[in-house]
């Protein structure tokens, strides 16, 4: 997910799926499926499938693709498919084994594990892709994201650069309201409650109406705890969440090298109790657990002039639209007044790397050209253009690893001339982008949590993104989670709205354990121990 304007994100999510568009850069003779197919000039043909967002222009309108074609000395046949269509086509494509030579943002290491023999092992070919080799050398965690225990690499990761290091989850409060009321940013739950009470009763937006929403929380998701979940308050208790991705959404957490499930902890119980207390006092909307997402987001935008919302969890200050300058990010408040600030943490998700960016078909022909295409994609200049747009139209190369993003690069949120976070590439640490509003917006809110990130060990106290389950264990965990989460989410929502957690807690824990919660913890502990043995 990128730091786009909130309206753009929601508009893009609602656009209907489009059909596949076969986009050819140059003519060819014969079928691309033929072995060693070449174009009329004898250049090898490489077929590249790209899973795109519907708000991105077609690949052939991205001028940087010409540089990739020149680098490989080949003709590239680009094929675009949107997310919805690909969701329907992915499994049949895997089952058939009829893949494009190169697929971008189409497959993950889990797919490779479930469909052995479909993907090319890229590890033996790294010498032919020096940019990828340099990526792995400088960012060993990136390689861990995709490498099997046997040292195979079937899918390459990507990196948007260190500017995107950090969580996509942030706690943001209306500083203008605090100032109006003479209040400080709260540092404990007790202080937060008093602030929210003042937001409700003292007309901080000054319009003479009791229309303020002190704390706007999202309804729980149906598949687990994820983006902007109110369960981010677990960080106030010392449990590190990772809600961008991974098993944290199903309750898995790590503390001092031991895997657990927070769904049955006293910390989870205290968060649910606190949220219920806030709702009972009218400090959280009564309909929060049933409110439509569009209505929830509209509350943050208000009418663009008068703010209605005091506190939210979100991506960046852009979530507030024209009201953004009223808000600031705030560190997690301690759950208890007696807690040391050193015991309070923040969400351990990371936006720098993703593990599902580029795969090569085991049946691909013209392999030498394929390696050249991949290496070009992972070069600095092509990676920069994948992220922000072609040089010189949307980005200028200022030399010495410095680039400037022109305003027009991200001007139209419904027509991005770039792959943004879907790039199959690598932004090295020495690269900087002036005018990169998305990373600047992320840094503005995420840097607030620097001290709380330092309060835990990145391996001993959270599940590293590179820890993966075997195909068999993945199936077991998924089956268990169906029963675990169906019950846990229903009870959590009910308790936030109606209370009753203390009376029902023991039966709740027993039912989750009977549904396979403990088995899932054991499976994740086994995988954690296997993948972190050399990193602890």
At the second CATH level, the architecture of 6-164+352-433 is: 3-Layer(aba) Sandwich (3.40)
**Coil, strand or helix at 200:** helix
Contacts of 79 (CB under 8 A, 6+ apart): 20, 21, 22, 23, 47, 48, 49, 50, 100
Q: Are 280 and 289 in contact (CB under 8 A)?
A: no
Q: Are 307 and 177 in contact (CB under 8 A)?
A: yes
pLDDT value of residue 32: 38
What is this structure's pTM? Answer: 0.86
Could you tell me the residue ranges of all domains in the chain?
6-164+352-433
**Coil, strand or helix at 121:** coil
Burial (0-12, 13-18, 19+ Cβ within 10 Å), 338: exposed
Q: Are 163 and 442 in contact (CB under 8 A)?
A: yes
pLDDT value of residue 12: 37
Contacts of 338 (CB under 8 A, 6+ apart): none
Q: Are 370 and 47 in contact (CB under 8 A)?
A: no
Nearest-angstrom CA–CA distance, 9 and 460: 34
Nearest-angstrom CA–CA distance, 117 and 129: 22
The percent helix, strand, coil of the chain (3-state, each to 5) is: 45, 15, 40
Nearest-angstrom CA–CA distance, 285 and 218: 10
Per-residue pLDDT of the chain in tens (536 residues, 90 and over written 9)? 433 333 333 333 333 333 333 333 333 333 333 358 999 999 999 999 999 999 999 998 999 999 999 999 999 999 999 999 999 999 999 999 999 999 999 999 989 988 999 999 999 999 999 999 999 999 999 999 999 989 999 999 999 999 999 999 999 999 999 999 999 999 999 999 999 999 999 999 999 999 999 999 999 999 999 999 999 999 999 999 999 989 999 999 999 999 999 999 999 999 999 999 999 999 999 999 999 988 999 999 988 999 999 999 999 999 999 999 999 999 999 999 999 999 999 999 999 999 999 999 999 999 999 999 999 999 999 999 999 999 999 999 999 999 999 998 878 878 889 999 999 999 999 999 999 999 999 999 999 999 999 999 999 999 999 998 988 999 999 999 999 999 999 999 999 999 999 999 999 999 999 999 999 999 999 999 999 987 76
Burial (0-12, 13-18, 19+ Cβ within 10 Å), 267: middle
**Coil, strand or helix at 257:** coil
Nearest-angstrom CA–CA distance, 155 and 106: 10
**Strand boundaries in 53-209, DSSP class E:** 75-82, 102-104, 155-159, 170-174
Q: Is the peptide bond before 222 cis (omega within 30 degrees of 0)?
A: no
Contacts of 122 (CB under 8 A, 6+ apart): 129, 132, 153, 154, 156, 360, 374
254-to-203, 391, 453, 508 alpha-carbon distances in Å: 42, 44, 15, 22
């Amino acid at each position: 997910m990128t730091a786009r304007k909130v309206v753009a994100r929601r508009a893009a999510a609602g656009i209907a799926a489009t059909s596949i568009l076969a986009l050819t850069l140059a003519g060819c003779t014969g079928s691309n499926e033929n072995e060693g197919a070449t174009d009329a000039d004898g250049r090898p043909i490489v077929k590249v499938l790209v899973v795109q967002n519907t708000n991105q222009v077609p690949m052939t309108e991205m001028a940087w693709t010409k540089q990739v074609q020149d680098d490989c000395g080949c003709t590239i046949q680009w094929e675009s498919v949107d997310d919805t269509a690909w969701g329907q086509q992915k499994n049949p494509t895997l089952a058939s084994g009829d893949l494009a030579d190169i697929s971008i943002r189409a497959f993950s290491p889990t797919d490779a594990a479930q469909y052995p023999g479909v993907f090319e092992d890229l590890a033996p070919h790294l010498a032919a892709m020096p940019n990828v080799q340099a990526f792995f050398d400088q960012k060993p965690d990136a390689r861990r994201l995709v490498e099997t225990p046997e040292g195979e690499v079937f899918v390459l990761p990507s990196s948007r650069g260190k500017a995107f290091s950090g969580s996509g989850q942030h706690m943001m409060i209306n500083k203008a309201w605090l100032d109006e009321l003479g209040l400080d940013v709260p540092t404990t739950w007790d202080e937060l409650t008093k602030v929210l009470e003042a937001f409700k009763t003292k007309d901080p937006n000054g319009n003479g109406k009791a229309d303020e929403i002190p704390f706007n929380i999202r309804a729980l998701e149906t598949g687990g705890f994820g983006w902007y979940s109110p369960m981010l308050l677990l960080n106030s208790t010392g449990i590190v969440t990772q809600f961008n991705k991974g098993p944290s959404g199903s309750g898995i957490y790590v503390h001092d090298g031991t895997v657990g499930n927070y769904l049955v902890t006293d910390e989870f119980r205290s968060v649910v109790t606190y949220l219920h207390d806030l709702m009972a006092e009218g400090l959280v909307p009564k309909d929060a657990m049933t409110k439509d997402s569009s209505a929830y987001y509209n509350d943050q935008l208000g009418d663009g002039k008068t703010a209605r919302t005091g506190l939210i969890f979100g991506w960046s200050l852009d979530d507030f639209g024209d009201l953004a300058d009223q808000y600031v990010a705030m560190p997690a408040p301690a759950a208890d007044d007696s807690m040391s600030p050193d015991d309070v943490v923040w969400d351990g998700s990371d936006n720098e790397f993703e593990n599902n960016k580029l795969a090569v078909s085991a049946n691909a022909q013209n392999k030498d050209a394929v390696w050249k295409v991949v290496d070009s994609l992972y070069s600095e200049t092509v990676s920069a253009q994948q992220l922000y747009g072609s040089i010189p139209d949307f980005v200028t190369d200022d030399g010495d690893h410095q680039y400037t993003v022109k305003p027009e690069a991200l001007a139209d949120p419904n027509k991005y001339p770039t792959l943004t976070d879907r790039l199959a590439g690598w932004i090295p640490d020495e690269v900087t982008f002036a005018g990169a509003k998305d990373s600047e917006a992320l840094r503005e809110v995420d840097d607030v949590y620097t001290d709380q990130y330092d309060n835990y060990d990145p391996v001993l106290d959270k599940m590293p993104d590179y820890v993966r389950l075997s195909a068999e264990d993945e199936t077991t965990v998924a089956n268990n989670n169906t029963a675990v989460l169906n019950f846990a989410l229903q009870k959590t929502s009910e308790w936030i709205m109606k209370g009753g957690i203390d009376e029902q807690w023991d039966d709740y824990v027993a039912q989750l354990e009977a549904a396979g919660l403990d088995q899932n913890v054991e499976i994740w502990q086994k995988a954690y121990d296997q993948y972190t043995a050399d990193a602890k």
